[in-house]
Amino acid sequence: MRPANLLLLCAASGLLSTPPRRLCRRTAARRNAASTAAPSDRSAFRIASAASVAAWSACAVTALSKHPTLMLPAAHARLSILQALTPLPLLMASFEAAPEDRTIALGLAAASAWLCAAVLLAPHFTATAAARASGLAHMAHSAAITYPAPLRVAAATAHAGAALLCGSAYASAAPTTKRGAPSRLWLAVACAFGGWALIAAAAPFPLATLPTMLGRRLSRAFGAFSLLYAAAALALATAENDVLRRGVARGATAQWVAVAAKLVVERACLREFYPAAFSRPVASLGALATFAMALLLGARTPRRAG
């Protein structure tokens, strides 16, 4: 008997030895596993996204609703909260893109760990070492922020869970496929936001209040979003992602809307309310330029091949 015929007989006998019902069950099980694996992962990221958004929003409202030492108008508090919430479009887009992009997964894991530390170690993140510049004396003597215990536990749990989820996604995912040469403009934006993240982590006040002018109550915590902006720009420099690009554009747009609202509503007392920004005019202009570049690149429609 020829070898080819012998192989065909062996294959046929193997199929006949398996009952039809069992064979159908195995096939159906494989199809179900393949179809439910991705949705379950997406569901976990959606839950983490909602929890992170809620945690950051609650912390922003708690920290910025009332200044610990100064009597400020209610409009100023509302505008500060509005500006603190500007990165939420980027945060949600990052959670949507993280299952398919290792760069975003790693950046989101690092940003979530940063936010968790900012909640648990809030007094250290908000305390001011020194503020020697004229007009900034209130920053040197302000009391540090401490979140209520229920909020501290809930927010830290949300951010820690997001960090673990994104970290595991980064470790288990295959390397992201890169297409073409990296975009120098996106790389420049990534470097700029990376610099702002470094400033938020290590620079003294008042410089650490940039790039958002949120004051010492939330500026160091906002550094996590500067890091996330940097990760998103780095991912977009090597691979196109419409969801992530729109998230960057919407976050930068929201930032500019908040800045414009402050310029209009508080135009008569800008120097009084934002002495830190006016004490560092070059850095403040650089911060606005960084968000402007992110907005322009994010809003630009990419060219499709073919």
Angle (deg, nearest 10), helices 242-265 and 74-84: 160
pLDDT at 245: 95
pLDDT at 154: 97
pLDDT at 142: 52
pLDDT at 211: 87
Cα–Cα distance for residue pair 166/143, rounded to 1 Å: 34
pLDDT at 54: 97
Buried b (16+ CB within 10 A) or exposed e, 32-62: eeeeeeeeeeeebbeebbebbbebbebbbeb
Cα–Cα distance for residue pair 168/92, rounded to 1 Å: 18
Low-confidence ranges of the chain (pLDDT < 50): 1, 3-18, 20-37, 129-134, 136, 138-141, 305-306
- Write down the residue that tokens 């160091």 correspond to: 220
For residue 184 the two structure tokens come to 């120098």
pLDDT at 152: 95
